[in-house]
Chain A
Amino acid sequence: MSATLGRAPAAPRDYAACNGCNLCQLACPMWRSHRDPRFTPAGMAKALQHGATAAQLAAPIEACSLCGACDPVCPERIDLPGLVIDLRLQLANSLPHSSALLDDLRARLQQDTAASVASRSAPLLLPGPELRADAALLARVQALLGLAIADDDGADIALALELGVEIPPRRLQGFLGSLSGHSIVAADGLLLRQLRRWLPGSQRMGLGAALSSRPAVRSNLLATDLYVIEARAYHADYERMVAYYDRLQTETGCVLNLDLQRIAIPAVAQGLPQKLGATSDGDDAQAKWILQGRQPARIVVESLADRAAFERVCDLPVVHLAELGEDPEMMKRRPHAFG
């Protein structure tokens, strides 16, 4: 596990450094759905260079899914997801959204949260709301990884980042204080990315990499599997992850959802409107694109959201990585995934 733990990234640059190479466009799911260069990180950066405001760029700022695919391909090392997060904050300040979700989130961010009960230096799991909602799977993950679950997993902070909501410093300090000194496994790739900046000395990794490094899981990966990497966590620690998954592919023979640049194609690419529930538009196009021309016997996912997307678009068995650990209960629950 320690082989894939991330370290702090080099200092990023801002949009002024964009030279318009458009390499980010090639990897951008937002561009794929709009086919409009304004809906790309480069398009936003170039427009900003020439005087556009956040309000004038509201449509692409809100459409971005923050998958982070643009980040590792940028030759100028511009922090493109960070740019979108900053612009969302600006946008929220100038055009405040109002929804029950946002109001609830702002209220949660003001609350004091109990500190972690885990002892200092014990590895912690930050499961996030989706995994918490599936108690059996969460128990399986915990059993496989042998980690304590953090009382405060920063789910409100992750959502605030996504929605462009200001995070009160007190809340952030409390959260980071509870993580200080721990190794961290986080299910939310966006939170993982930010932890890299907020806790540069810490040891962190994504849930997918943590699970797939377990022999009980890895040994059940087959050459006929399509293995779907969770894009945010992968791109948040690209240099390490590209090598890690390269080894995984070599060892298991499974097909990965990587493009020719070795960027993870996200199976789900929801922008702000979908997150806020303002539209129920599905984004099945991404999952269909991953499947195009491929005929796997089974799809293995790291993220529960990805499982739902593939179950919508195909009849293939779709199984979460944690379910591969030869757990009789899991095999009983999802027999189709195990043949």
Chain B
Amino acid sequence: MKIPPVEPGTVGPCPVAPDALQGIKRQQTNPARWNGAGWQDFVAALRASGVDLAEGVAACGVYATDAGGTAYGQPHGVVIARSAGQVSLLLKAAQAHRVPVTVRGGGLTTEGESVAFGGVLLDMNGMSRVLKVDAQALTVRTEAGIYWHSLAEELRRENLDYLSAPLNLTSSVGGTLGVGGIDVNSARLGCSADQAISLQVVTPTGEIVECSDDENPELFQRVILGYGQFGIITEATLRVRPYTPLSMHYYYYSSLRTAIEDLQMLDRNDASDYSGILTIMDCAVNLLVAFDSDEREAAFRKNWESRLRGHGEFGFALCMAGHYALRPWKIGEALYLLQRKQAVFPEFRRPEFMREGKMHDRTVVFSRAVWKHWGSRQMVIPDLATSADKFVEAVERGNAICRKYFTHYTLYCVGIKLRPEHKPHYEMSCVPPDAEGWAYGCEFEPMIEGGVYSRDHFQAFKNAIYDIGVDLGASYYRFGGMMKGYIRRIFGDALVDRHLAMKRRADPAMILNRDVIF
């Protein structure tokens, strides 16, 4: 989609198409903009306490939307986080003046959760330094605004690596710990939030508190996977591990069900170090399997590879050729698959990111490919998170919705090993309450491809996916912002009201990340 250049000094047109479709019920939209009552007094108090706050379009325009690109709003002012003490002063002033504070890490939300509709936007990127790497204890203490990739850059100099993080170079540590985070090794190592050992948190009323499973455990439980409602994570101590390049294998399927069954078989048997599914619609389903060591790879080849029902690249190409030869009316689909293969596959094999057949940094490879071939000014990525036994049905039903709403799309599926001792962390989160052992998540990502869709079309699509979740008793990764209308439907009033009461006690003026969940 071509966005016309903006005349300097003017505000450009909204790039989302007008809401033109008729008969689609809008269930949730952007919250109303905060009215700005008392803003000047707040600003004066903040500046008197030594906190820098930037106003004006050059500062606020940077944050006008998030990665989703469908929620647009601007803060009244921006604070770049510099220290826990500064964040504390900000929150104390915000409580006193009842000014909303929206916290942003990488800004990779898609439902407007990190978009400020007035008030202050607190950009945590300013706190992005690694504080201490302990190579003996295999831990790192870092400021929480750091991107996982920047953390990896520093850890790699010590020949270390983080355990698991989203396959996106610009996910922040704090933002990820607040919502979960999945990697292609989550089926083995759990969600990214599970690697946090302890956190420094600034509570909504401005107290600076250290918390862990042993110290202030209630706060730890609420902040981890807490969608930013109970405090701002300013520092984190995380587990790390020795770095190893990985050997990657791809198996291709034409059936979602078969690929998912094989994925779950591998996960149940701890047969691989990394596993996940990435598709081109439901036509080419790619099960990726990877290993940290030659020993694990050899064991997989000996014990498990023969049980997989997928094909190698050449074998799958033959299958596809036969399939489309018998269905000439689907030539358009066949050509799309071919074009997509030619464009995307080389990205996963760029020689500068490989050494002796091993991939040196999975996040670099996948994230660059994702932004290049999936990125767009608008992105909607509704998801479903279910227990293992409901997952095939969830994906198949979601796939049918994708086919109905968009010409082309991608599905990304991965397992998440659950830690029983972290069950309190998982309450009212993306981890479905009925999941035992593993939860499974699927992202449904339409390809926008320069098309122009209305917000209502996007919203109707997301609603249709989320309705499946309500029906199945599933959960979601992205249930905040524009999708928060589903929270009570999926979690029930009793649980939501209990969390709302905790939120009111912790945040009397309800200023921190307001409208994201409650």
Contact = CB atoms under 8 A, between A and B. Distances in A.
Interface of A: 14-17, 19-23, 25-26, 35-38, 42-43, 46-54, 56-57, 73, 75-76, 242-243, 246, 259-262, 292-294
Interface string B1-17: 01111101111100000
Given A37-B62, A43-B62, A75-B372, A22 B106 contact: yes
B371 A23 contact: yes
B157 A292 contact: yes
Contacts of B62: 37-38, 42-43, 46-47, 50
Contacts of B204: none
Nearest to A250: B355
Contacts of B60: 50
Nearest to A265: B153
Contacts of B107: 20, 22
B156 A260 contact: yes
Interface residues of B, number: 58
Contact of A21 (B4, B12, B150, B375): B375
12 contacts: A19-B376, A22-B107, A25-B170, A38-B54, A46-B61, A47-B57, A47-B62, A52-B8, A53-B8, A259-B153, A260-B361, A261-B169
B483 to A, nearest CB: 20
Contact of A16 (B6, B64, B371): B6
A146 B152 CA distance: 43
Interface stretch (B120-128, B176-184, B192-200, B225-233): B120-128
Nearest to A291: B157
Contact of B57 (A16, A51, A242): A51
Would you list the 8 A-B pairs with minimal beta carbon distance, nearest first? A293-B157, A50-B61, A56-B58, A75-B371, A75-B372, A16-B3, A52-B58, A47-B61
B423 to A, nearest CB: 34
Nearest to B379: A19
B106 A46 contact: no
Nearest to A31: B125
B65 interface: yes
Interface string B145-166: 0010110111011100000000
Contacts of B376: 19
B380 to A, nearest CB: 14
Contacts of B129: 35
A241 to B, nearest CB: 10
A14 B5 contact: yes
A19 B377 CA distance: 5
Of listed B126, B129, B352, B364, residue having the most chain A CB within 10 A = B352
B125 A35 contact: yes
Given A23-B371, A243-B352, A260-B152, 9 more contacts: A16-B6, A17-B2, A19-B375, A20-B69, A21-B371, A47-B57, A49-B12, A50-B60, A53-B9
Given A16-B5, A21-B170, A21-B371, A49 B106 contact: no
B80 A35 contact: yes
Contact of A260 (B9, B11, B149, B372): B149
Contact of A261 (B2, B127, B368): B368
Interface in B107-133: 107, 123, 125-129
A51 B351 contact: no
Contacts of A53: 8-9
A36 B62 CA distance: 11
Interface string B57-78: 1111111111101000010000
A48 B6 contact: yes
Contacts of B8: 48, 51-54
Interface of B: 2-6, 8-12, 54, 56-67, 69, 74, 80, 106-107, 123, 125-129, 147, 149-150, 152-154, 156-158, 169-170, 351-353, 360-361, 364, 367-368, 371-372, 375-377
Nearest to A17: B3
A262 to B, nearest CB: 5
Contacts of A242: 352
Contacts of B106: 22
A21 B67 contact: yes
A200 to B, nearest CB: 24
Contacts of B58: 38, 47, 52, 56-57
Contacts of A261: 169, 364, 368
Given A46-B61, A49-B12, A51-B11, A16 B368 contact: no
B64 A46 contact: yes
B130 to A, nearest CB: 10
Contacts of A49: 3, 6, 12, 61, 64
B64 A50 contact: yes
Of listed B56, B170, B368, residue having the most chain A CB within 10 A = B170
B12 A51 contact: yes
Contact of B6 (A22, A36, A51, A73): A51
Contacts of A246: 351-352
B153 A35 contact: no
A38 B123 CA distance: 11
Nearest to A51: B11
A21 B178 CA distance: 20
A176 B69 CA distance: 43
A177 B371 CA distance: 40
Nearest to A15: B5
Contact of B157 (A26, A76, A294): A294
Nearest to A35: B126
B9 A51 contact: yes
B125 A37 contact: yes
